[in-house]
Structure 1
Amino acid sequence: MHEPQLIFQEIVDMMKRIERKLIEQQQIPTFDSISLTKRQESILMYIFSNENVTMSDIASYFDISRSAVSQTLNKLEEQDIIVRSINQENRRELDLSLGENGEKLHQEYKKVEEMIVQNYFSKIETEDLRQIRDTIRKLQGMIVEEEHQ
């Protein structure tokens, strides 16, 4: 195996171990109490991270059909996690917001995020964090750029 491949595998393994450990320590919400699929979880995290999200935004970001997004959102809406409303600027588009259960999950997620920053990220030198961020940003840029070629 070439060194870049070994380093890649090591990074993936470390991230999986970190995730497992944080879940084990109950520091990452697993959404088990409301039983979400991985796709529902991913879309919900996207909604948490972005304001004024539309179905088209989600379809584009995850590279899935609007129909697949709609099916996923139906399940989230049934559990009062999200609420859909007609976009006043483009009546053919639906705006998404958090329902009561979605707000509760979002607050839980924000508490966990703050705890992770306080317990771990705050103990790493800011310059080291910037270097990690910049390296990941560079990798992301290469992957996104290649995708559009």
Structure 2
Amino acid sequence: MPTNETLIEELVHQMNQQQLFRHSFRVPHGSRGRFRAIMSLYYGGEQIQPSELGQIMNVSTPRITAILNKLEEEDLIIRKIATEDRRKIFVSLSKKGKEVVARKLKQQREYVEQLVERVEQSDLEAYIRVLKAMEELNVEEVE
């Protein structure tokens, strides 16, 4: 039987994967697209190519370019040219971007902690299973 801590962590992760926080937790003065991008960068790893990020977010190349330009203007991301192949560009969260994500995750965690207090553990476990199934289905659709 998972602990409350495990349930909370899993719920925050799965709810972010399904973008269930998109209306409540936004980048300051930001759009949902920018919030999705910084959360995708956070969950996607240290560095990612813009094209990969666009695929993860299921947005066009011009749209991901516009999102990244705005995030760079806000000092939330860093673009780096690959040393081994100067045609490749990698994007990562800046220090400020990581701080924004940390604040948002803290807010999300507080929300989920309240949820865990109000809902039976078996219901939460079932909800996590449903969210995981939805994530798997979304991955299959992209492939």
Which TM-score tier does this pair reach, normalised by the shorter chain? 0.5 to 0.7
Amino acid at match of 1:48: Y
TM-score by length of 2: 0.66
Deviation per residue, 1:35-63 (Å, 9 max, x gap): 21222222122122221332122111222
1:101 matches 2:96 = yes
Rate the CA distance shift 1:95–1:126 in 2: closer, same or farther, 3 A: farther
Structure 1: gaps (5+ residues): 1-17
Which structure has more relative contact order (CA 8 Å, sep 6+)? It is: 2
Amino acid at match of 1:45: M
1:65 matches 2:60 = yes
Radius of gyration: which is bigger? Answer: 1
Structure 2: gaps (5+ residues): 1-19
What are the residue-to-residue correspondences of 1:115-130 with 2, within 5 Å? 115-121=110-116, 123-130=118-125
What are the residue-to-residue correspondences of 1:129-140 with 2, within 5 Å? 129-140=124-135
Match of 1:43 in 2: 37
TM-score by length of 1: 0.64
Q: Which 4+ stretches in 1 moved above 4 angstroms? A: none
The percent of aligned pairs where both chains have the same amino acid is 23
**Counterpart Cα distance in 1 of 2:141 and 2:53:** 21
Structure 1 position 76, deviation (Å):
0.6
Q: Number of matched residues?
A: 123
